Amino acid sequence: MTSCSMEINPAIVESIVVLAVVLCVHLVVWNQHSWCSIALIIQAFYVQHKWDRLLKSGGAVFQFRPSANSGIVPASMVMPLLGLALREKCFASGNVYFERFSMVITITGMMLALFLSLIALGITRPLPTNTCIIAGMAASAIVYTTKQTLTVSEVIEVLEVLLIFVYLSLIVLYLLPRCFTPGEALLIVGGISFIVNQLIKRSLNLAEVKGDPVNYLLPVVVLGSLLLGMFFALLFCFMESETWVSSLFFHIMTAVLGLGILLPWLALFIRRHPIMWLIDFLALNDKRLCLLGYWVLLAVGATCVVLHQNYQRQSGSKKHQASTIVRKYFHLIVVATYVPGLIYDRQLLHVASVGCLAVFLFLEYVRYFRIRPLGQLLRQLLTLFLDERDSGPLILTHIYLLMGMSLPVWLFPGPCAPKGVLPGAGGLVPYAGVLAVGVGDTVASIFGSTMGEIRWPGTKKTMEGTATSVFAQIIAVALFLIFDGNINLNSTYSWIVGSITLVAMLEAYTSQIDNLLLPLYLFILLLL
């Protein structure tokens, strides 16, 4: 077993799993972008080898997260596959606007991946001739398809996102060393760049703004958090952040940004005062008030777990770290939070998850900059729950968990879903985060660490953990089918089991942030 583990490269198996996902998508969706996505994954596989070599030799321009491969292959395919799956649903529903929008998502994802490949090839010495030829052929196919399928305004939109991505990635990777792998940076910064561009575009065309007000909360929160973080990261390079004067300035500027810029900006989109709209939204019916009360109790429970674990550390060893099982308590609490929201009120869950994201980001800024009075306290409380992925100055694990559970809710193609529900396996799309992270990853970690003996070649993950993960997710699907009357699988059981198995294999072999990657791939597969 040991020699087999040494021979198998986990990054290659990870790439094979992603290739299987790509082929599954193209069994259902085949159009002019399909050949481009296949060319993209081939060139990404070659470029990933170059990135991995750069990371091992220390030749990369920025400091990336250690003890992980570059993750170029799984990250490069997320946005293109997401756009292809969304386009198929929008085409079936006859929604031409969102069908075009989905094409923009696909091409944007391909262009961002090509740009990251260009960086790797540009700093690799000697210049890898074969990889350059393959990347050039893939780029030529993508550029030709872009010319054939997108309008001039859509091409300009893609270039705008690429421009934002270039500048934003330079800033983020410089200010936050060792926080991301190249693939994670592509996924996160690329997503933020796309959201920022969409928000700016809609702000310049307010007369055409339409849709559910709930959908504008996330872009405004993302942009506000980005502006706040960048401003103070640059400011505190020149002044001490731990003084009371700096802390007071931080809180005043946060209030000015929120009340003076973001709320009026949001009001332009929803055409009402955001606070009055939020009060009416939350008090719409008794069910929402009951859900809010239930979530408050769970939040109190999670806080008690944190305080109890820190009390144990104070009374015991100072080097005490929370075990894997203790950290998975939070996964179970999040499952208990999301499932009732998905069953009874998805709009409320959408708003609440965006609000939690804003709170988490604000508290992380307070901890990172040591803002008084809570900065040092948060550092002491959260240090206990660090794992090997929190190697940079930021602690992002809990934010990734929230995003992984919420992304299927945020990305749900409401305008392309008849009566708000997708047929077949699509009925499980909002549950992708709960299944992949809340159930699958939790069960795999607990059973794998306690009872697992047979390890997957080349990794520390166990076959027992993966098998119980798949089994637990199938049981969860059966329970969702019983309690959520909107789900009608229509004999798509084999597709669901196959999708869950593929994502479980990806969890076993990926070294990327699984809380973020797994829900997106399961979302894409279930959307088909």
Inform me whether the pLDDT recorded for 125 exceeds 80: no
pLDDT band at 389 (very low <50, low <70, confident <90, very high): confident
Which residues are within 8 A (CB) of 476 and not within 5 positions of it... i.e. 6 or more apart?
431, 434, 435, 439
Which residues are within 8 A (CB) of 316 and not within 5 positions of it... i.e. 6 or more apart?
none
Q: Provide the residue ranges of all domains of the chain, joining segments of one domain with +.
A: 11-209
Instruction: Report the Cα–Cα distance between both ends of the chain, in Å, rounded.
Output: 38
Measured distance CA(253)–CA(262) in Å, rounded: 12
pLDDT at site 192: 95
pLDDT band at 317 (very low <50, low <70, confident <90, very high): low
Measured distance CA(157)–CA(163) in Å, rounded: 10
For 350-373, what is each residue's pLDDT tens digit?
999 999 999 999 999 999 999 988
pLDDT at site 3: 44
User: DSSP secondary-structure letter at 243?
Assistant: S
Inform me whether the pLDDT recorded for 4 exceeds 50: no
pLDDT at site 521: 96
Measured distance CA(324)–CA(304) in Å, rounded: 18
Which residues are within 8 A (CB) of 218 and not within 5 positions of it... i.e. 6 or more apart?
195, 354, 357, 410
What percent of the chain has a predicted confidence (pLDDT) above 90? 48
For 13-25, what is each residue's pLDDT tens digit?
999 999 999 999 9
Could you tell me the CA-to-CA distances from 448 to 108, 388, 506, 507 in Å, in that order? 38, 18, 15, 12
Inform me whether the pLDDT recorded for 457 exceeds 90: no
